[in-house]
Amino acid sequence: MTITYLITGGTTPDGVQTDIAIDSDGVIAELGQNLRAEESVVIDATNKIVLPGLVDLHTHLREPGNNDAETVESGTRAAAKGGFTAVHAMANSNPVADTAGVVEQVFSLGKQAGWTDVHPVGAVTVGLAGERLAELSAMHDSAANVTMFSDDGICVWDPVLMRRALEYVKSFDGFIAQHAQEPRLTEGAQMNESALSSELGLTGWPAVAEESIIARDVLLAQHVDSRVHICHVSTAGSVELIRWAKSQGINVTAEVTPHHLLLTEDYVKTYDPVYKVNPPLRKDSDVLALRRGLADGTIDTVGTDHAPHTEETKQCEWVVAAMGMTGLETALPVIQHTMVDTGLIGWHDVARVMSANPSRIYRHTDQGQLTDTGGLVQGAVANIAVYDPSHKFVVNPTEHDSKSANSPYKNMELSGQVTDVFYRGHQVVADARVTTPFQHSR
Amino acid sequence: MRHLLATRNLSYDNAMAILDTAQEMATVSARSIKKLPTLRGQTVVNLFFEDSTRTRTSFEAAAKRLSADVLNFAVKTSSVSKGESLKDTVQTLEAIGGDAIVMRHWASGAAQQLANFGWSSSAVINAGDGTHEHPTQALLDAFTLRHRLHGLQASGKDLNGLHVVIVGDILHSRVARSNVWLLHTLGAKVTLSGPPTLMPVGVTTWPVEINYDLDALLTQQPDAIMMLRVQAERMSGDFFPSAAEYTRGWGLTNDRYKTIEGAGTLIMHPGPMNRGLEISAAAADSAQNTALEQVANGVSVRMAVLYLLLAGQPGQ
């Protein structure tokens, strides 16, 4: 066994300054002070944070069907640049990922690309139509080994169908990721329903439309003893409901997006569709409640909901513009800005909510491994992101590796840069630029 | 003032300048030769994404009385049909050579996008955007109120101390929004009335009072009562049980009209009126009804807006 890379002087999430040796099998061979290795590439991580590779449970890669906006290759390249070593590709492609064939295609495109792990999320219902269950077991039994199912973008609204889905996936310890949006309460909805939506003349998306579905689904999960994951929680009331559900021992996990931790509905005053997203940007009080919920463990993970869109679907009237914003390449700086620099959490917690927890939710064994104190794990697959929190920059979406530029942080000054990323022991990002992909063996 | 997009952020001084200029323009409209050479050589584009013969004709008359050239451009698209984008349409029109774009659009915010996104260098006048704003309607309503109260001495006078009641579908009304902000800026007290289902969320944060009891409001003898048009698509039962029930609660019926007949309360309506629904025939035909004056004043107000935005700019 030869040591191929040596990361020196970095601080792991437990606050310990340590060297990290990566071997040719793509495994963390050794952790410790003053490691030496002949012939290896040395990465000086002094004054940097060394995190386990980030894991995103909520990514839209757009392929198949909308390759103009993103492909598996471009989306995972963007993910790698953002420090991610695993993404979960939502099912709302065209065709929808509702069969073994489509999930295997996405899975295989991910392997070909070689920038991160790609785990396709299977649709809960055929064609996301909310009428009958897709072949969940077939997707689980496929090469993609899907355990996470979601109609994301559309709520599994029918309570009976939701109940059946929660029951059905129990046979293989799967889970349903719910896009909580009561459809009748959100017909034509354009933004958070508030005094501002009334002033702007935009149809409102009330908090109750999210909260009522979450309330229903945690009770369903309790009733049938299954696992439910709430996607992109956006309101203070939702945080309260999830906190209550967890206190009852209900098997619920929850996710928040970086943009809901930072941006508020006030941006909609510009009528610039780059701020149009579903669920919509909410109020200051919601942002603060989400931050607290993430800090105290009520919310388990950060999911980017990276939603690339072409320019033509964004440079148009607000009401017809597509919903969604890119997020993979800005996620970590936004979490630093909203959670770390505010003193709400430390780097151990960042590693928890952006890597260990999503891995635990999906039951990954080769991502997100941390010791109890937040150290990296010797013998673990070398999925690692090196991060320089002091680097200041102004967000310029045209420099992003994503094919789309619909970043709401455009021109915003943030801190933090992912400088180096190791994916399965191969350096896919060096000096904040992507290098070469990992070659999966056939 | 470079554009007129909304009354929400229209300053008191700019609002008064428009009203006072409109007062002067009204004297032009009263002459036998209704024309000023002010905007000769300039081009006003009426860009209408939504049918509105009344508003378009009013802007056209206003531009022509100022000797501007007028291009009418109607775009038949709906929110579901995709075709040429707003950006492309506007840039095409600019290539043809417009100095001002008067735009009616089904999308809230379209006028603001046009003004702010670098798609156009024209002056933009919002002639109604979705359920957001219709600022020239509010300005002509204010002008009408002022004119009724002060006649030829109106110049320089605001609406301080007036009580105006706006009745009906506030939720979907850009006219209501523009009126609320402008009336407030000009010092009037505004009360909204109508079924609670047609009141916007958060309306309590607006500078208005809410009173669902129209009869009680009428006993206060407000200076004006503005009856909003009830759109046919609201009557499907989602917002109120039936047209008859709406009329019983919030229509200016004959019985209600009698309680203010001959009093100082003006009856206003942005038109076109649904007789028998939000307003009875007797109320519609009453001398207290200002609907036709509103139409006439609309031309003067739009002349004033065009003049203030375009005069002094080089013609092409």
Domain count, chain A: 2
**Token couple for A402:** 């994503």
Q: Do the domain assignments include residue A442?
A: no
Q: Are residues A204 and A279 in the same domain?
A: yes
Cα–Cα dist B125/B18, whole Å? 13
Cα–Cα dist B21/B137, whole Å? 16
Let me know if B114 is exposed, middle or buried by CB neighbors in 10 A (0-12, 13-18, 19+): buried
Strands of A134-219, DSSP E: 148-149, 175-178, 191-192, 204-205
For residue A99, how many other CB atoms are within 10 A of its CB? 18
Q: Where in chain B is the domain with CATH 3.40.50.1370?
A: 12-134+295-310, 135-291
Cis omega before residue A258 (within 30°)? no
pLDDT tens figures, A383-440 = 999 999 999 999 999 999 999 999 999 999 999 999 999 999 999 999 999 999 999 9
Q: Residue A193: closest CA among chain B residues belongs to which residue?
A: B201
**Token couple for B120:** 């156009």
DSSP β-ladder status, A84-89 and A54-59:
parallel
Q: Residue B85: closest CA among chain A residues belongs to which residue?
A: A316
Q: Are residues A20 and A86 in the same domain?
A: no
Contact residues on chain B for A316, CB-CB shorter than 8 A:
85-87
Q: Are residues A14 and A163 in the same domain?
A: no
Nearest CB to B8: which of A199, A312, A320?
Answer: A199
Comparing A91-100, A345-354, A396-405, B259-268, the range with the smallest average pLDDT is B259-268
Q: How far is B150 from chain A (nearest CA, A)?
A: 31
The structure's pTM equals: 0.95
CB B12 within 8 A of CB B291: no
Phi first, then psi: give them for residue A364, nearest 5 degrees: -70, 145
Comparing A32-46, A368-382, B24-38, B265-279, the range with the smallest average pLDDT is B24-38
Residue B315 has pLDDT above 50, yes or no: no
Q: Do the domain assignments include residue A172?
A: yes
The sign of the CA dihedral A107, A109, A112, A118 is negative
Contact residues on chain A for B203, CB-CB shorter than 8 A:
195, 198
Q: Are residues A206 and A325 in the same domain?
A: yes
| Helix count and strand count (H, E) for chain B | 11, 9
Cis omega before residue B314 (within 30°)? no
pLDDT tens figures, A223-269 = 999 999 999 999 999 999 999 999 999 999 999 999 999 999 999 99
Q: Are residues A240 and A280 in the same domain?
A: yes
Scan residues 62-91 of B and list those with Cβ closer than 8 Å to A. 79, 82, 85-87
Q: Are residues A264 and A349 in the same domain?
A: yes
What is the predicted pLDDT for the residue at B316?
36
Q: Do the domain assignments include residue A110?
A: yes
Q: Do the domain assignments include residue A440?
A: no
Nearest CB to A194: which of B107, B130, B201?
Answer: B201
Cα–Cα dist A422/A3, whole Å? 14
Residue B169 contacts A, CB cutoff 8 Å? no
Torsion of CA A253, A257, A260, A261, to 10 degrees: 90
pLDDT tens figures, A143-170 = 999 999 999 999 999 999 999 999 999 9
Which residues contact residue A247 at a Cβ distance below 8 angstroms, ignoring those fewer than 6 apart?
none
pLDDT tens figures, B213-225 = 999 999 999 999 9
Q: Do the domain assignments include residue A368?
A: no
Of the residues A315, A336, A362, the one at which a domain ends: A362
Of the residues A362, A384, A418, the one at which a domain ends: A362
Q: Do the domain assignments include residue A371?
A: no
pLDDT tens figures, A256-303 = 999 999 999 999 999 999 999 999 999 999 999 999 999 999 999 999
Mean pLDDT to the nearest integer, A367-380? 97
Q: How far is A204 from chain B (nearest CA, A)?
A: 9
In which domain, by residue range, is A391 found?
Answer: 3-50+376-434
Q: Are residues A153 and A58 in the same domain?
A: yes
CATH number, domain with residue A248: 3.20.20.140
* Confidence band, pLDDT 50/70/90 cuts, at residue B80: very low
Classify domain B12-134+295-310 by CATH architecture.
Answer: 3-Layer(aba) Sandwich (3.40)
Residue type, A353: V
Q: Is CATH 3.40.50.920 the classification given to domain B135-291?
A: no
Residue B254 has pLDDT above 80, yes or no: yes
Query: Long-range contacts for B61-65 (Cβ within 8 Å, ≥24 apart)?
Result: B61/B299, B61/B302, B62/B299, B62/B300, B62/B302, B62/B303, B62/B305, B62/B306, B63/B39, B63/B302, B63/B306, B64/B35, B65/B25, B65/B28, B65/B29, B65/B34, B65/B35, B65/B36, B65/B299, B65/B303
Percent of chain B with pLDDT over 90: 76
Of the residues A327, A362, A397, the one at which a domain ends: A362
Mean pLDDT to the nearest integer, B176-194? 98
CATH number, domain with residue A29: 2.30.40.10
Q: What is the DSSP string of A400-440?
A: SSSS----TTTT-EEEEEEEEEEETTEEEEETTEE------
For residue B207, how many other CB atoms are within 10 A of its CB? 12
* Confidence band, pLDDT 50/70/90 cuts, at residue A372: very high
Torsion of CA A339, A340, A345, A347, to 10 degrees: 130
pLDDT tens figures, B123-157 = 999 999 999 999 999 999 999 999 999 988 899 99
Q: Are residues A103 and A148 in the same domain?
A: yes
